[in-house]
Chains A and B, each alone.
Chain A
Amino acid sequence: MFGDYEAQRHWQEITFNLPIKQWYFNSSDNNLQYWGLDYPPLTAYHSFLCAYVAKFINPDWIALHSSRGYESQAHKLFMRATVLIADLLIYIPAVVLYCCCLKEISTKKKIATALCILLYPGLILIDYGHFQYNSVSLGFALWGILGVSYDWDLLGSLAFCLAINYKQMELYHSLPFFCFLLGKCFKKGLKGKGLVLLIKLACTVVASFILCWLPFFTEREQTLQVLRRLFPVDRGLFEDKVANIWCSFSVFFKIRDILPHHIQIMISFCFTFLSLLPACIKLTLHPSPKGFRFTLVSCALSFFLFSFQVHEKSILLVSLPVCLVLSEIPFMSTWFLLVSTFSMLPLLLKDELLMPSVVTVMAFFIACATSFSIFEKTSEEELQLKCFSTSVRKYFTCFTFLPRIIQHLFLMSVITMILLTTMTVTLDPPQKLPDLFAVLVCFVSCLHFLFFLVYFTIIIMWDSKTGRSQKKIS
């Protein structure tokens, strides 16, 4: 399996055998074309730690050069064990703690929520099937969300900085964190406590970055090389088939070939920020934990849909915040999480994970359906669209059919996903269009994601004062 599994093994080999200064540089010992390191330093340190354990068990696994493509049952067990240990230490405690701290729901519901979040198929399949360490970065991000939501701002930002320094994709979540914390500082008053908090936060962030990047700050060239590896701007707008706007758009309009490179970057930048700006501004002006969670969703989704060089696995960055709002809007969250797993279908099929995918998706769906009774929670109020519908009804009095539309859409969506999955597995694509099914999957998923982006933005923008005034009344 010469994929991410070999990449991770190779990184253990590199970090153990070579000095730090050579980790990110091309040399005779370190061929960057062969799975070169392209994650921030914390990943490298983690690989170094795993390599130390590997050396104790069997040095052949990480011998320089000679261990390329090494595969044995014991090694596989070791690598999978490292993912499991990372999961147990970082991600799972965060999820359990998050569910314990949920307010206004019974203990049974808390346990059910924790179970459903942990059963999310996408993360399980990518981390244990495809092989990655997403649970580490997502776990740190979750600790950050926990800290910041419950006013442990410094620890929260420290955890989030660790997350960014583990995988740079966590930058998708950085804007909501920034806006939320800024909003908190504004609320406390910029002339007093707010300013103190701002300075403390800034110091925490800078200190954590310095701590992680210390060996690479000694020379300017080191820092620049690492940054070059992390953000390969030379690559195009997208690679392979991914369920975002540019890939779907290029079905009709070959945007990659027509527009010059820097224009592509500009367009992607503009669209991304245009779509996430309203939510972020709202969060800065009215910071609240609930708004924070929803803004995380919409921000990450905007980045996924419009940003540069997005991989299909980045949908996990959106799935994590959606898991967090599972208890508030179970129906839409479950729907989104199913679509997010479906969007990775081409990747999962490439890894021969059809049976585990089907089984985990079914288990997740049954768990959510029974724990939250999702099919009974499709009224306007349950979907948190009450304020929106009321506003629309001022102009269109007949706008009462929203729940029914959404139910029908859900049914159609599930049927389409099942149909596409069956077709991809059983049929051969026509010779002229060998990627037909992959493109169809991406296109359909993209439409879904656009719908969800609109939905979550509506919730954020219409949430506000009516929501809070209702709470004051009750």
Chain B
Amino acid sequence: MAAFGIATGGSNWFSALALGVTLLKCLLIPTYHSTDFEVHRNWLAITHSLPISQWYYEATSEWTLDYPPFFAWFEYALSHVAKYFDQEMLNVRNLNYSSSRTLLFQRFSVIFTDALFVYAVHECCKCIDGKKAGKELTEKPKFILSALLLWNFGLLIVDHIHFQYNGFLSGLMLLSIARFFQKRHMEGAFLFAVLLHFKHIYLYVAPAYGVYLLRSYCFTANKQDGSIRWNSFSFVRLISLGLIVFLVSALSLGPFLALNQLPQVFSRLFPFKRGLCHAYWAPNFWALYSALDKVLSVIGLNDKWFSSAVPTHSPSLSDSLGHLYLHSDCHVGPRGFLRCLILCALSSFMFGWHVHEKAILLAVLPMSLLSVGKAVDASIFLILTTTGHYSLFPLLFTAPELPIKIILMLLFTIYSISSLKTLFRKEKPLFNWMETFYLLGLGPLEVFCEFVFPFTSWNLKYPFIPLLLTSVYCAVGITYAWLKLYVSVLIDPPVGKTKKQ
């Protein structure tokens, strides 16, 4: 009895947090799911019933396989468990099949694979120093970070309501970051290579990895002042990194190379025929651009050259080149790498091609790691997260999900703001009056879009207005956070080797 008592005692807060959020995920099983549910069911069917040579050619359903091969193998593995739940879901012709057993299996697969995310969070907590820790458990940075990551609102609603597998993918990314903090660079590189072949959206942050590994791993030593010692370049390390990437890619793309299907695979992975903006505008630069365009066209000032001056490539490459210059000169360490990664992710979100608003999670999750370190980062994190999470609201447009999303968002926002404020209470306030005003403005915006607008007459004539307002309002916030982060990277010296843990 006593042993049982110790096991359930209050000492193991991490398990309590993880278990609590898992129970919450179980409660979200019967909620609304988007077409992504059918997408993954279709992929289960394709990988289970068809030979490899047909995986990237199959087009019975409109939701064709457009993730890299490792994800296809992942679905293949899942399908072998799926056949014990409901054999019918593995039939390619069963479009939109969603029996209760299918739903149960798919939802449980997301919950189960989140175990990797939980492990990654556990590893990340080890990388956080507890210098600022108070005696109280709930004021320790480790606790706050665990809560912010495990109970992240965006991840919860995108993965467990909208239906996606971002949990374990983000887990892989966070794990590779943690490995870099723990100076296990080879493992980190391997994990990231694997991640790239699961979901190619992580190419957005690949420059950060490339630059960091080159700078901090291939150059084995620094001069006294921290700049590069050019003669310490280690070819062995460079070759071994290259070997890792090559082997992983070979494992992933090898079979398709042998089948001469590489062009088809790449055309599926990078569909450039789609437009600049998605059906719902992600709150990035292009949203502001398009809004301005529309406003100008309504006013009548629209010139042809304005809308044709759209660049057709993502400028994140220029970002990373800039970082290359930055990092060659300054102290660099895992923390600097993290900043670079977040900046890459955010910049790609801001200017990328056909960006989905879910991509904001790519920046939000790593930012949590920085937020418990410095007050400036906490402030940027809170603005980015609150605005980013609010921009996900249009994903859940059904009536039953309305109270869920509002209550969960309020809980997470209130917790994140109050815990970070308590952590940094000895420094200057996190927000200035402008930022406070902006964040508070989200409340009336939500009330207007969801409760007032549907009852007005404009609902029939201009039904896109709530989406437009949400997108533009959030774009302002996210742009502001991006600029602030950029400025803080340029001005402050990144925490490098001088501050040992």
Report A's interface with B, CB cutoff 8 A.
73-74, 76-77, 80-81, 84, 355-356, 358-359, 362-363, 366, 369-371, 373-376, 378, 407
Contact = CB atoms under 8 A, between A and B. Distances in A.
Contacts of A80: 403
Contacts of A369: 5, 8
Nearest to B20: A363
Given A77-B399, A370-B9, A362 B23 contact: yes
A355 B29 contact: yes
Interface in B1-48: 1-2, 4-5, 8-10, 16, 19-20, 23, 26-27, 29-30
Contacts of A366: 8, 16, 19-20
Given A73-B398, A73-B399, A366-B19, A359 B27 contact: yes
A84 B406 CA distance: 14
Contacts of B8: 366, 369-370, 375
A373 B27 contact: no
A73 B400 contact: yes
Contacts of A378: 1
Contacts, number: 49
A369 B236 CA distance: 55
Given A73-B399, A373-B10, A376-B5, 5 more contacts: A80-B403, A371-B10, A373-B5, A375-B2, A407-B1
B485 to A, nearest CB: 36
B402 interface: yes
A355 B399 contact: no
A376 B2 contact: yes
Contacts of A73: 398-400
Given A366-B16, A366-B19, A370-B8, A355 B26 contact: yes
15 contacts: A73-B400, A76-B400, A77-B400, A80-B403, A84-B403, A356-B27, A358-B26, A359-B23, A359-B27, A363-B20, A369-B5, A370-B10, A373-B9, A373-B10, A375-B5
Interface in B367-418: 398-400, 402-403
B19 A359 contact: no
A31 B58 CA distance: 59
Interface residues of B, number: 20
A331 to B, nearest CB: 10
Q: Which residue among A76, A355, A407 has the maximum number of chain B CB atoms within 10 Å of its CB? A: A355
Contacts of A375: 1-2, 4-5, 8
Given A356-B27, A366-B16, A373-B10, A77 B1 contact: no
**Interface core residue of B1, B2, B402 (most chain A CB under 10 Å):** B1
B132 to A, nearest CB: 22
A105 to B, nearest CB: 16
Contacts of B399: 73-74, 76-77
Nearest to A407: B1
A370 B403 CA distance: 29
A378 to B, nearest CB: 7
Interface SS, B side: helix
Contacts of A81: 403
A80 B403 CA distance: 10
Given A77-B403, A363-B20, A355 B9 contact: no
Nearest to B455: A57
Q: What are the 3 tightest A-B residue pairs by CB atom distance, in nearest-first order?
A: A375-B5, A369-B8, A73-B399
Contacts of B398: 73
A375 B2 CA distance: 7
Contacts of B10: 370-371, 373
Contacts of A356: 27
A355 B19 contact: no
A375 B284 CA distance: 53
A374 B1 CA distance: 10
A77 B454 CA distance: 16
A347 B377 CA distance: 51
Contacts of A362: 23
A356 B31 CA distance: 13
B88 to A, nearest CB: 22
A375 B1 CA distance: 6
B123 to A, nearest CB: 24
Nearest to B398: A73
Contacts of A358: 26
A472 B10 CA distance: 34
Nearest to A76: B400
B1 A363 contact: no
A57 to B, nearest CB: 9
A116 to B, nearest CB: 13
B3 to A, nearest CB: 9
B5 A363 contact: no
Contacts of B400: 73, 76-77
A387 B4 CA distance: 28
B26 A359 contact: yes
A47 B311 CA distance: 60
A355 B28 CA distance: 10
Contacts of A355: 26-27, 29-30
Contacts of B403: 77, 80-81, 84
A80 B20 CA distance: 24
Contacts of A373: 5, 9-10
A81 B8 CA distance: 35
B23 A77 contact: no
B23 A363 contact: yes
Contacts of B5: 369, 373-376
A60 to B, nearest CB: 16
B164 to A, nearest CB: 21
Given A370-B10, A373-B9, A375-B2, A77 B402 contact: yes
Nearest to A370: B10
A378 B4 CA distance: 13
B403 to A, nearest CB: 7
Contacts of B4: 375
Nearest to B30: A355
A375 B5 CA distance: 5
Nearest to B11: A370
Contacts of A363: 20, 23
B246 to A, nearest CB: 46
Nearest to A404: B1
A81 B406 CA distance: 13
A373 B1 CA distance: 11
A363 B27 CA distance: 11
A84 to B, nearest CB: 7
Nearest to A75: B399
Nearest to A362: B23
Contacts of B402: 77
A362 B1 CA distance: 18
Nearest to A377: B5
Contacts of B19: 366
Contacts of B2: 375-376
A8 B387 CA distance: 40
A73 B27 CA distance: 18
Interface string B49-87: 000000000000000000000000000000000000000
A407 B2 CA distance: 11
B109 to A, nearest CB: 16
A81 to B, nearest CB: 7
A81 B451 CA distance: 14
Interface string B217-243: 000000000000000000000000000
A363 B2 CA distance: 21
A286 to B, nearest CB: 35
A372 to B, nearest CB: 10
A421 to B, nearest CB: 16
B32 to A, nearest CB: 10
A84 B400 CA distance: 13
A77 B399 CA distance: 7
Contacts of B20: 363, 366
Contacts of A84: 403
A119 to B, nearest CB: 11
A370 B7 CA distance: 9
A73 B400 CA distance: 7
A81 B399 CA distance: 11
